[in-house]
Amino acid sequence: MYAVISTGGKQYQVAQGERIRVEKLAGEVGDTVEIDQVLLVADGEEIKVGQPLVEGVKVTAKIVEQGKAKKVVVFKKKRRQGYRRKQGHRQLFTALEIQRISA
């Protein structure tokens, strides 16, 4: 059984027991999160596709980690102008372990 969920403006295909990294969610490590924005649920041969969401389906996940991703360096330069800008960015993320897909 797997599901396609939407969180943080992105879509993820998840199954029970998987670990995924999503955009930062509120909560502490060990907390349980329910994601109700489920776009698709597949259970063997049976597939339910929402328009846009599947009614009555929730994905329950446990927060495993809150952290920052690796640094991305943004460097801008214009030749022969003496213009150089260097900037770094570390995106916040939440690591989730999928516990249950309730259909």
CA dihedral 95, 15, 103, 56 (to 10 degrees): 40
pLDDT at res. 103: 75
Per domain, the residue ranges of the chain are: 2-67+93-102
Helix (H, G, I), strand (E, B) or coil at 12: strand
For the stretch 4-16, pLDDT in tens is: 999 999 999 999 9
pLDDT digits (tens, 9 = 90+) for 28-61: 999 999 999 999 999 989 999 999 999 999 999 9
Residues ≥6 apart with Cβ < 8 Å to 26? none
pLDDT digits (tens, 9 = 90+) for 52-99: 999 999 999 999 999 999 999 999 999 999 999 999 999 999 999 999
- Confirm whether pTM is higher than 0.75: yes
